[in-house]
Amino acid sequence: MKLLKKLPVIFILLLTPFLLLAQDENKQDLYFNFTKETELCPYESIDLIVEKEKGTQFNLCGKAVLLHPRDFQIKILHIKNINSLKFHQASQIDSLVEAWKDENDKQIQAYYGGPYPFYGKNQMFNTFIVVEDKVKGVMSVYPVMWVNDKKIARN
């Protein structure tokens, strides 16, 4: 009888690691076409690509700064596969964040037993910068992390 009373607690303890793993599955893939984003940039004084000690930093015309750490692998794809990627624009970042929060808020509140106070873009998205090389007919896909990722409070 005592075991039956403890069974729900044991079940929850066994399930907790899987719930933690499930949060990563809610990450949305974001691809930014760096070539197109920078063609539209009106600011000539911005360094769009900067080599840093930790890796390569990409600036999406002042709308976002993303870092490709040196230990992250770059994928090279044939340019004919470019249509298989769903690209987003830097101007959509705020709406993408809001859409992610709206879609995942109930699940996160259920997990934490109430509102989770902060979200960050690195927890919401798997983000990639795509650089086209039309001469070689390839595109380089850089997995990146948001720099200065401001934690966003949930109301």
Q: pLDDT by residue for the chain (155 residues), tens digit each?
A: 554 554 444 444 333 333 343 445 578 999 999 988 888 888 888 889 999 999 999 999 888 899 999 999 999 988 888 888 999 999 999 999 889 888 888 888 888 787 766 778 998 999 999 999 888 889 999 999 999 776 655 54
**Domain for residue 149, yes or no?**
yes
Residue 111: exposure state from Cβ atoms within 10 A (0-12, 13-18, ≥19) = middle
Q: Which residues, 6 or more positions from 155, have their beta carbon under 8 angstroms from its beta carbon?
A: none
Show the domain range for 123: 27-153
In single-letter form, the type of residue at position 29 comes to D
Say what the pLDDT of residue 23 is.
47
Count of domains observed in the chain = 1
Say what the pLDDT of residue 106 is.
83
Q: Which residues, 6 or more positions from 129, have their beta carbon under 8 angstroms from its beta carbon?
A: 32, 34, 58, 66, 68, 141, 142, 144
Q: Which residues, 6 or more positions from 74, have their beta carbon under 8 angstroms from its beta carbon?
A: 68, 140, 141, 142, 143
**Domain for residue 122, yes or no?**
yes
**Domain for residue 92, yes or no?**
yes
**Domain for residue 47, yes or no?**
yes
pLDDT tens per residue across span 48-69: 999 999 999 999 988 889 999 9
Say what the pLDDT of residue 102 is.
86
Say what the pLDDT of residue 25 is.
57
**Domain for residue 82, yes or no?**
yes
Helix (H) / strand (E) containing 94: helix 93-112
**Domain for residue 20, yes or no?**
no
The structure's pTM equals: 0.76
